[in-house]
Amino acid sequence: MELSLATRTVGEHTVLEVGGEVDVYTAPRLRERLLELIDAGARHVVVDLGRVDFLDSTGLGVLVGALKRLRTADGTFALVCDKEPLLKIFRITALDQVFPLYPTVEAATGAGK
């Protein structure tokens, strides 16, 4: 399934809903969208991975890049993920200790300024 990207605003948070496959081919589009959002002034970004069915190291690299960019700009970056296969990827790579991970968008936008 191709990558899908949709943006909405929840309070002061910009929520990017990602669907499909995030891999070496599609990750550049995700990077581009995140950079657009940050360049346009988004400072509290939540990426909802709820409809992602494949995520590889390239996609993870893009997400870490956005996290670091927002930290530098005094912003916040959080992920929404409740799928065990994806959570396992975060645990194996130790990225579960790097990203704030939430089970729902509500939790991410309510708790993660």
Partner 1 sequence: MATVRLSFSPAPVHVRTARLVGVAVARRAGVREDLLDEVRLAIGEACTRAVALHRQYGLAEPVLVEMSDSGAYSVRVVDRAPIEASIGLAALDADQLANESLNEDDLTTGVGFALLAGFVEDLQVRPVDEGVGTEVRMVWPVSR
Q: Determine the Cα–Cα distance for residues 99 and 79; give it in Å rounded to an integer.
A: 7
Pick between residue 46 and residue 60 the one whose CB is nearest to partner 1.
60
Q: Determine the Cα–Cα distance for residues 82 and 96; give it in Å rounded to an integer.
A: 12
What part of residues 56-85 is at the interface with partner 1 (CB under 8 A)?
56-58, 60-62, 64-65, 67-68, 71-72, 85
Pick between residue 17 and residue 21 the one whose CB is nearest to partner 1.
21
Report which residue type is found at 49.
Answer: L
**From 9-17, 44-52, 74-82, 87-95, span contacting partner 1 (CB under 8 A):** 87-95
